Amino acid sequence: MATRTVTIASSVGLHARPASLFVEAAADSGLDVEIGRPGQDAVDATSILGVMALGATHGEEVVLTASGDDADAVLDKLVALLATDLDAE
């Protein structure tokens, strides 16, 4: 299982548009991907309700995990997405 920690860059955190873009990318990966706060239970990264319910805010760290073929590459892509201010685009 691959793991990455990333700081949320979007000014509104993982809410609305940034959450939607992240969930879509996680779902497109075809892997089992989870996201959560360090030390807390993770949620399914393909669930928009689960991701938004995390309430992850700008500047907060989250932990991503994935299992399956190319898990490291998938997480690298998702980390790059979360490390970008998706509201600025």
Which residues belong to the active site?
15
How does DSSP classify residue 35? E
Spatial distance between the Cα atoms of 19 and 8, rounded to a whole number of angstroms: 11
Spatial distance between the Cα atoms of 63 and 68, rounded to a whole number of angstroms: 17
